[in-house]
Structure 1
Amino acid sequence: MHPGKAQEIIELPPENRWLEPQFEELYRVGSLGGKDWEQFGSVRRVAFDATGQLYVFDISTKRVYVVNQRGELRRTLGGPGEGPGEFRRPDGLAVMRDGRLVIADMGHLAYHVFGPDGQFERRVRMAPESAIATLTDFMPDPGGHAVFTATGSQPLEIRFLDQGQEKRYTSLPIERLLLTGDVITRETVAEGWLPMNETTWLEDRPVFGPRMLAGVLPDGSVAFSDSSAYSIKIARLGVGVWRILRRPLQPIPVTNRMIAVEKDRQLANTSPGLAKYERARIASLSFFEEVTILRNLKTGWDGEIWVQRHGPEPVGDDGPIDVLTMEGVYLGSYRRGAVRMPDAFGPSGLVAFIELGDLDEPTVAVKRLPIQVSIR
């Protein structure tokens, strides 16, 4: 576990307090038999603004659909093309509380910024620091005009450039990217732990090892997990880590049986055309010495922190979901399989889930959280 320089350490209780998943469904959008705009191809991201409007990013049509609180279409943004506000290879979505919207575009190597009225404002160039441009999920700054990124989190897209050198990583920085100029300005919020020697390729990390998980809180702090332990660090720009939330749950050691089962699982999922390459890759896999406890982390509108533990199988991401506050209050846990991690959180307890219908058509369900897990 990486030693953090925290001002405060809060110990959470070891016992589970089980919550009932009594979510009130408000509306759904997305249907093969619905209106033309609802016939989504692939919903990549969803988000809310402060008025409760829903933003649906369909990566297949390269458009963002803005939906009011009744599930009715208000406006459409973007679309394929080369002109202002049009996208080449869009991915990722950040919606500010005032409705300002940011879409990344690896084709343009830029962020597209739209105003609260849906009008295109400008492109802000990414200025990659390496010959490998990696786009990870980015999160809105509650104050607006910036997004946060966490190196080492799940990549959305990778582009190999013709210039520059591969960057060597010795840590996993969490950065605030200012979008007020022609080119992004980077500010480091905290340095996450990289549990290996310096590397140029972050995907070559040990199986079962920690991944960078991060979410932004209402005051602009970032909650993140970067170790195998149940330890959530809270950092702020200019301060660094100032609080750590810990729960006395211990990672289980990795056994030879776990390694064999995981290699067999990956071999079973290889495509015939890549079998030779995949067998060599799987044979050379490295494994962490223990199974990382936390597999997912999201932050709610009012400062809740949702964290998901691994399931019965070490590789499983379907374990219980714990709900905490940024002040260190444990609100309770949802049992394994009782509820999925929400894909977006909004005001007044709103949450959105990206789902598939009976014919595998994408749909988005908007629900309201029960009062005991919504800080209002």
Structure 2
Amino acid sequence: MTGTRSAPRALLPRPLSPHAPRRLVLAFLALGPAACGAGADAGDGSVTAAVDTVDGVERLSYAAEPGPRLDWSTDTVAVLGDAFAEDAYQFNNVRSDGLGGDDAGHLYVLDSQGKRVLEYGPDGGHRATHGRAGEGPGELSQPMGLEVGPGDTVWVSDFSNRRITGLPSGGGDPVSIPFEEGAGIPSPRMAVLEDGFILRFSPLFNFRRDGSGQMRMSRGGQDEEAGPARPLLPVVRMTRGLEPVDTLWTTPEPPMDMVQLEAAGRFMVTMMSREFYPGLQWDAFSDGGIVVSDSAGYVLRLVDAGGTVRRIIRRDPPPREATEADREAARQRVRDEATGGGGVRIGGGGPDEETQRRLLEQRLEKMTFAELIPRVVALRVDRSDRIWVGVSEETPDEVARIDLYDRTGELIGELRDFPMPDVFLAGDRIGVLREDELDVQQVVVMRVDGAGALAEL
């Protein structure tokens, strides 16, 4: 995200859901060089933006009609990761924000379960392992996200160790930068700049029993019953020492549903985000600005490095209303996660079968739903500062189409039947998280052909 910027990571191809499975597969895509914006199918119509202003900010509004179709295709090159492969090719609990790349084309995978960073070369071969479990220098306890910065230092945010750890990929002593006192939970997404970071922190959860014995939650010192206001989640530009410089964006924390269950002398609490609620999505440009989406409608805001909104992008159609079929599909997903092992996990061996059944019943009973299905379900910025938008059409949280914009918000074209990138690597490569038939995370290397593919500008 700098002059020698590392690749920003992308969201899961299937939605940003608080209950999304953690075991996924990562694919590399090699993209053929060509000029930006070329390769659109001449048979598809172009879309011209209507221009107006909102509170003094220029807004580009695009109609719902199809735009230029980008004619890109993929070929599989290699596969990394296997349940029976050697240890260096096994990783788990990898999120899209735990992927990064350097200018040499190397991929870095934050293996949250193994508490380490695995480095792979452009050919998919294992090159090195960085970090290990622990609390000492260069060790990881509860890693949240990863980004590769200038000098090919791998930066990892670590909640339990209350710091960001820098791991030089070429060797050398690790760097530890402690969080400020009172800092909350770092989000997995972060950006590394020449002179600092862009981060977002969420308030910590605190629980207490009330007079009736029920658990009550507070965050950031505010009790849940104190009023309707929810804590604001700021996206902050910080110095290399993690001192705040500018607040780039704030959005209210998504509403949460709390499930409580007492069994066998154990009190269990599970927090669930409201289904279909539009979460905060953002990614950084090379100059320290960001693009933000935090509403159900297709609305993007281009924010400069000082926190000023410079342009708004919107596109029809508006978000559709959630149906009972949508809600039942969400409930079924929770059931499938519970029976398949992707649901709530509790230490100490976990609850017995009866407790698991009761916990599932409580989760289903306590689920709440937003009224609208968000249109934007994935948002990424590539190494040439182009904006990739994963758009939902009929199925919630599913990318049906990718819209590609330039840095100014001009629509370049659309992709269908194409994977949403999770990480942009050097040159002509991207990575996409996937999961095999055994729910094992893998890296599928693919080549993308077609004029207009990701050339470095």
Which structure exhibits the higher relative contact order, with contacts defined as CA atoms closer than 8 Å and separated by 6 or more residues? Answer: 2
Counterpart among 420, 430, 436 of residue 351 in structure 1: 430
Structure 2 residue aligned with 1:141: 192
1:141-290 matched pairs, under 5 angstroms: 141-143=192-194, 145-149=196-200, 166-167=219-220, 168=222, 169-178=230-239, 180-181=240-241, 184-185=243-244, 187-192=246-251, 206-255=274-323, 258-259=326-327, 262-263=330-331, 266=334, 270=338, 273-290=355-372
- C-alpha distance in structure 1 between counterparts of 2:437 and 2:253, whole Å: 42
Counterpart Cα distance in 2 of 1:299 and 1:60 = 27
Q: Secondary structure at the match of 1:37?
A: helix
| AA partner of residue 301 (structure 2) | K
Stretch of structure 1 that moved more, 167-176 or 91-100: 167-176
Any stretches of 5+ residues in structure 2 without a counterpart? 1-52, 209-217, 223-229, 257-270, 340-353
Shift of 1:304: 1.8
C-alpha distance in structure 2 between counterparts of 1:69 and 1:317, whole Å: 29
Distance in 1 of aligned mates of 2:307 and 2:436: 45
Q: Could you tell me how far apart the structure 2 residues matched to 1:345 and 1:317 are?
A: 20
Q: How far apart are residue 255 of structure 1 and its match?
A: 4.1
2:88 paired with 1:37: yes
What RMSD in Å do the two structures reach over aligned CA positions?
3.6
Query: For residue 363 of structure 1, what is the aligned residue in structure 2?
Result: 442
5+ unaligned residues in a row in structure 1: which ranges? 153-157, 198-202
Query: Which is greater in Rg?
Result: 2
Question: Aligned-pair distance for 1:340?
Answer: 2.7
Post-superposition shift, 1:301?
1.1
Counterpart for residue 132 of structure 2? 79
Q: Deviations over 1:311-334 (max 9, x none)?
A: 523x34242222222222223223
Contact 1:206-1:287 within 8 A present in 2 as well: yes
Match of 1:307 in 2: 389
Q: Cα deviations across residues 351-373 of structure 1 (Å, max 9, x unaligned)?
A: 01233456544322344554424
Question: CA 1:150/1:343 → structure 2, altered by over 3 Å: closer, same or farther?
Answer: farther
Distance change (3 Å), C-alpha of 1:128 and 1:278: farther
Asked if the contact 2:236/2:244 (under 8 Å) is kept, the reply is no
**2:320–2:372 CA contact under 8 A, matched in 1:** yes
Report the CA distance between 1:345 and its aligned residue. Answer: 0.6
- Give distance in 2, aligned partners of 1:124 and 1:184: 11
The farther-off stretch of 325-334 and 277-286 is 277-286
Q: Which amino acid in the other structure matches residue 214 of structure 1?
A: W
Closer/same/farther in 2, CA of residues 220 and 367 from structure 1, 3 Å limit: farther
Distance 1:205 1:43 in 2: 20
The separation in 1 between residues aligned to 2:83 and 2:274, in whole angstroms, is: 41
Alpha-carbon shift at residue 269 of structure 1 (Å) = 5.3
Instruction: Compute the displacement of 1:95 (Å).
Output: 1.0
Distance 1:346 1:324 in 2: 19
| 1:374 partnered with 2:448 | no
Separation in 2, partners of 1:310, 1:211: 14
Q: Is this contact kept in 1: 2:246–2:307, CA < 8 A?
A: no
Moved more, 350-359 or 24-33: 24-33
Residue 110 (1) aligns with residue 110 (2): no
- The residue aligned with 1:90 is 143
The residue identity in structure 2 corresponding to 1:11 is S
SS at structure 2 position matched to 1:347 = coil
Distance 2:436 2:254 in 1: 40
Q: Aligned pair 1:320/2:373, yes or no? A: no
Task: Tell me by how many angstroms 1:161 deviates.
Answer: 9.8
Give the aligned partner of residue 155 of structure 1.
none
Q: Over residues 1-50 of structure 1, what are the superposed CA-to-partner deviations in whole Å (9 max), with x where a residue is unaligned? A: xx975632122342223334413555543345655522445544221112
Percent of aligned positions that are identical: 22
Provide the C-alpha distance between the structure 2 equivalents of 1:355 and 1:122, rounded to a whole number of angstroms. Answer: 32
Counterpart pick for 1:19 among 70, 84, 88 = 70
Choose the corresponding residue for 1:59, options 89, 107, 112: 112
TM-score by length of 2: 0.67
Q: Distance in 2 between matches of 1:62 and 1:170?
A: 30
Q: Structure 1's 60 and 150: CA in aligned 2 closer, same or farther, altered over 3 A?
A: closer
Q: CA deviation at 1:119?
A: 2.7
Report the counterpart of residue 8 of structure 1 in structure 2: 58
How many Å separate the matches in 1 of 2:201 and 2:453? 26
User: How many Å apart are 1:259 and its aligned residue?
Assistant: 4.2
